[in-house]
Amino acid sequence: MNQRVAIVGVAQTRYQSSRDDARVFELTFEVVERLLDETGLSIWKDINAVVSSGDDYVDGKGISNDQITEVVGAQYRAEHKVAADGAFAVRYALLQVLSGHHDAVMVTAHCKESMIDQNLINNLAFDPLYQRYLGFDLVSAAALQAQRYMHKYGITPEQCAKVVVKSLKNAKNNPYAQVAQDITIEEVLRSPLLADPIRTLDCKPVSDGACALILASEQKAKRITDKPVWIKGIGSCYDAFYLGDRDLADCDSLVVAAQRAYKMAGINNPRNEIDVAEISGEFSYQELLWYEGLGLCGRGEGGKLIDQGVTKMGGELPVNPSGGLLSGCPHHVAGVARVAEVALQMRGEAGARQVPGAKTGLAHGITGPCGQLQCVIILGS
Amino acid sequence: MKREETEAFVLAQPYSAPYEHATGPVGTRFFTELRDNQKILGMKCSGCNIVYMPPRSTCPRCFAKLEEWVELGDEGTLLTYTVVRYHEPTHPTDAPFAYGIIKLDGADTGIGHLLGEVDLKNISIGMRVKAVFKEEREGNLLDIKYFKPI
Ligand SMILES: [Zn+2]
């Protein structure tokens, strides 16, 4: 990138199974208010534009600007909506700053998954002509991917369960986490089957919350904070829409997205050069598969990587010190929260979940069944 | 005010939206053949030498407009599967039931569908399956009731 763009502040709600005390707009305002307080920025004088991420179907509305404009300071100004994971909202905010027309852009993401059965909403992700009325949703689609992945590469249920154990243990250090506990592999493997081989504890829980952050130009960033977190690289890529067009055991779109981000950031060996990663695994097997797509290990070696303890706290490359999505984080918010968590790591402000001395970090977001759309963002202190 | 001092109000608001999706020229030919002749048609991209199932009008790999129909077999190979054990109103049948992605003979891509007449404990990737057609067909993918092991 010709110009440098930094993250100058982040704010998250605590993630909870239900926030029936507040509307999604009120959740958004919670984080926006805190973000402005912490950065000392004025919504009117400093913030030039807003990109928000959410889903109208989940929100139960038919018009995207319904009340969100009010809580992000967009009335009589501009707000742009991303109906995909919030990592893409970060991408569009970055482009707005790079355009040179804006020097501070706010990103918000909101979602109350508790409002409606997510399987009903996610069934709409499937083609109405050929697949939707067969009843697919993200859980059954993920089960088809998990089965194929585990079959092709000999990944075991125990290796997937280790992801759950690691995530919920890490989450004990994260004050924003919804689920945090010491749990055993056996307990994960004893939890009820939802769709073979996926069990209830293999899935991210239903979650409500919001997250916001501010991106600024280099000049503006240096005036706001002495700890700017630079966006070093970004890459995204779509895989085929139809599940049957892909070999679900491989995540080719993530390979491409990661390579684009690494090239922009000048990273040649991600496993050596990245100090911490926050990735979006909605299901336990996905974390192992995404390790492979991100090039942290070879194809089919995701299980081996977790067996070796490479990605645990204190390992060579800790993945999801926050506990990740398995410890609770709603869709849309997930990608922005991954960026926020890595930004905290780069600032040395991640508290008990801090990876000591982390200088380069990776954040990752996904949208669609079986990680169809992938986004990788490299941050640096 | 502290949260425990007030009761949270929640407004239940059901919503139903019956859409009408045009099936377009490709979908119309596919569903007509399926309904009237129990034939399953794929679409070939000669440039990529790939037969797509479900059929489509544009090749996602080379961007060519596709018009070369190919009749596929009613038998195929199971690429992956799952046994669904939870209940949703979107499901076409009661749980437990099995989904599979099936690569029909003559096609290069798979289609998601139901598996039937099958021992749920005894499904395996690579298994050969055959389409079972409904007696009364309506012109949608459920004109194939399910795929059964052969
Ligand atoms: Zn082609």
Q: Read off the pLDDT of each residue in A32-55 and give the average, rounded to a whole number.
A: 95
The 8-class DSSP code of residue A14 comes to P
pLDDT band at B16 (very low <50, low <70, confident <90, very high): confident
Other beta carbons less than 10 A from residue A184's beta carbon:
11
How many Å lie between the centroid of ligand 1 and the Cα of residue A298?
Answer: 29
Residues of B in contact with A130 (CB under 8 A): 54, 111, 141
The string of pLDDT tens digits covering residues A253-262 is 999 999 999 9
Position A234 pLDDT exceeds 90: yes
**Above 0.85 for ipTM, yes or no?**
yes
The pLDDT, as a whole number, for residue B6 is 66
HSE toward the beta carbon, residue A139, CA cutoff 13 A = 27
Position B65 pLDDT exceeds 60: yes
Q: Which of A131, A139, A240 sits opposite B112 (nearest CB)?
A: A131
Q: What is the DSSP string of B26-47?
A: HHHHHHHHHHHH--EEEEEETT
pLDDT band at B5 (very low <50, low <70, confident <90, very high): low
How many Å lie between the centroid of ligand 1 and the Cα of residue B69?
Answer: 14
Q: Read off the pLDDT of each residue in A34-45 and give the average, rounded to a whole number.
A: 95
The string of pLDDT tens digits covering residues B117-148 is 999 999 999 999 999 999 999 999 999 999 99
Candidates A296, A26, A13, A247; CA nearest to A145 is: A247
The pLDDT, as a whole number, for residue A180 is 98
Residues of B in contact with A133 (CB under 8 A): 92, 140-142
pLDDT band at A210 (very low <50, low <70, confident <90, very high): very high
HSE toward the beta carbon, residue A44, CA cutoff 13 A = 2
Rounded-to-10 torsion of CA A15, A380, A92, A250: -80
pLDDT band at B1 (very low <50, low <70, confident <90, very high): very low
The string of pLDDT tens digits covering residues B20-46 is 999 999 999 999 999 999 999 999 999
Q: Read off the pLDDT of each residue in A195-213 and give the average, rounded to a whole number.
A: 98
The residue of chain A with its CA nearest to that of B90 is A135
- Sheet hosting strand B50-52, strand order edge to edge: B50-52, B40-45, B68-72
Domain range A5-116+206-224, CATH class? alpha beta
Q: Read off the pLDDT of each residue in A154-175 and give the average, rounded to a whole number.
A: 98
Cβ of residue B63 closer than 8 Å to a chain A Cβ: no
Other beta carbons less than 10 A from residue A153's beta carbon:
18
The domain spans of chain B are 24-149
- Give A197→chain B minimum CA distance, Å: 7
Binary contact (B21, A129; C-beta < 8 A)? yes
Peptide linkage before A197 cis (omega within 30 of 0):
yes
The string of pLDDT tens digits covering residues A328-369 is 999 999 999 999 999 999 999 999 999 999 999 999 999 999
Position A2 pLDDT exceeds 80: no
The pLDDT, as a whole number, for residue A63 is 76
- Counting every residue, how long is chain A? 381
Binary contact (A135, B15; C-beta < 8 A)? no
Q: Read off the pLDDT of each residue in A221-249 and give the average, rounded to a whole number.
A: 97
Cβ of residue A238 closer than 8 Å to a chain B Cβ: no
Residues of A in contact with B82 (CB under 8 A): 140, 143-144, 146-147, 195-198
Residues of A in contact with B141 (CB under 8 A): 130-131, 133-134
The pLDDT, as a whole number, for residue B102 is 98
Position A287 pLDDT exceeds 60: yes
The pLDDT, as a whole number, for residue A355 is 98
The string of pLDDT tens digits covering residues A62-116 is 877 678 888 888 888 888 999 999 999 999 999 999 999 999 999 999 999 999 9
Residues of A in contact with B89 (CB under 8 A): 120
Q: What's the mean pLDDT when you consider all of chain A?
A: 96
